[in-house]
Structure 1
Amino acid sequence: MDHLYEKTTKTTEIFKGRVIELQIEEVELPNGKTSTREVVKHPGAVAVIPITKVGKIVLVRQYRKALDKVIVEIPAGKLEVGEDPLDSAMRELEEETGYKTEKLEFILSFYTSPGFADEIVYLYATDKLEKGLSQTDDDEFLDVLEVTLEEAEQMVNNQTIHDAKTAYAIQYLKMRELKKP
């Protein structure tokens, strides 16, 4: 696979914010020519598929400025520097929904936009929820919803759920249901 590798020869930092960094990377291509790549650096994120004791999926509804609209998502959040993804997932679940759990099952991790960003999302699931208190960040406003799998599928179809991590989570739950005897 070395014949596909692009060697970075120079990195220029363009922007460094609270959530992302933007870099321009000059690269040497496998054929010896050079090019530039715009790269978004991100510390990573976690997402949780929470299922209540009665089998409902816990979701959050919130406004997303980048989209300029309200969408429904599974609880998720950015990893803090050096934070373990499992610890982050436990924290985000409680902060956003008020639910706590003693056990999260790791499902998988995936890159969100590998063409220009290094963000990786660690996805967990749990059906062992205990009610607690939500404690959202000062700049975070959301509603907590509890929906059936069928209702969640409808939300995907009408694009109320319109992000990849949540659509994947709904698909994962649907496949899991199909595998049950």
Structure 2
Amino acid sequence: MDLTETQLNSEPLIEGSFLNIYRDTIRLPNGHESGRIVVRHPGAACVLAVTGEDEVVLVRQWRYAVGKPLLELPAGKLDAGEDPAQCALRELAEETPYTAERVVLLHTFYTAPGFCDENMYLYRAEGVRADSMLSTDEDEFTETVLLSREAVKTALKNNEIADAKTLVGLQHWLLADT
């Protein structure tokens, strides 16, 4: 069965600094026309960094859209033309006191494919050390949180971690030993 939806027209609704929202007219697989609202996003990278003491590096930051702070893997949007691996290294160093020698791609996934084309790159950091000299952007405030595997399992059980990229990354970490 061909499930392809074909774009017939695209009208910009909002063109922001990095997000653009469009109203598209599409042709459905059955030949009928329909509409879609689509958020276009440049992509993002997140990083699973684990210290020498086997603690995962997380950040707590206020998320205005949900009205509360969330516990998350360090992450951020890709700058124009930026390599996702470099973005992951940069975000780790900006949002936490940690850096990494290198990162290894674990997985890519869409964050909200029902309405957004954001592709997230999940990296595992290697050579993690507490020596960052960078700081967060002037409009970004984060608190670094280190959690052991047992503390992560407890936080997951208690629904204290609700961010999708973090859930994906932590599952990679927790399942690595099984």
Same fold per superposition (TM over 0.5):
yes
Q: Please name the residue that 2:83 is paired with.
A: 84
Distance between the aligned counterparts of 2:45 and 2:174, measured in 1? 21
Structure 2 CA distance for partners of 1:86 and 1:127, relative to 1, 3 Å: closer
Structure 1 partner of 2:109:
110
Higher mean displacement: 110-119 or 152-161:
152-161
The residue number in structure 2 matching 1:6 is: 5
Q: CA deviation at 1:155?
A: 1.7
Q: Distance in 2 between matches of 1:19 and 1:144?
A: 26
Q: For each residue in 1:30-83, what CA deviation from the matched residue of structure 2 results, as whole angstroms up to 9, or x when unmatched? A: 111100011010000000000001111010011100110011001000001111
User: For residues 97-155 of structure 1, what are the alpha-carbon distances to aligned partners after superposition, in whole Å with 9 as ceiling and x for unaligned?
Assistant: 12111111110100011111100100001241122234100000110011101111222
- The worse-fitting range, judged by mean Cα deviation, of 66-75 and 167-176 is 167-176
**What is the aligned partner in structure 2 of residue 158 from structure 1?**
158
Q: Is the 8 A contact 2:101 2:125 kept in 1?
A: no
Between stretches 164-173 and 68-77, larger displacement belongs to 164-173
- For 1:94, the equivalent position in structure 2 comes to 93
Separation in 2, partners of 1:139, 1:160? 24
What residue is the counterpart of 2:145 in the other structure? 145
Q: Deviations over 1:3-27 (max 9, x none)?
A: 2111111100000112311100001
**Paired residues of 1:47 and 1:89 also in contact (CA < 8 A):** yes
- Aligned partners of 2:44 and 2:120 also within 8 Å: yes
Contact 1:99 1:134 in 2 (8 A): no
In structure 2, relative to structure 1, the CA distance for the partners of 1:133 and 1:158 (3 Å cut) is farther
Partners of 1:175 and 1:105 in 2: CA distance: 17
Contact 1:149 1:170 in 2 (8 A): no
Kept in 2: contact 1:153–1:170 (CA 8 A): no
Q: Distance in 1 between matches of 2:38 and 2:135?
A: 33
Q: Which moved more, 1:124-133 or 1:113-122?
A: 124-133
Show the counterpart of 1:168: 168
Aligned residues: 177
Unaligned stretches of 5+ in structure 1? none
Cα offset, 1:170, TM superposition: 1.4
TM-score in terms of structure 1 length: 0.94
Provide the aligned C-alpha RMSD in A: 1.2
How do 1:47-58 residues align onto structure 2 when only pairs under 5 Å count? 47-58=46-57
Q: How far did residue 162 of structure 1 move?
A: 0.5
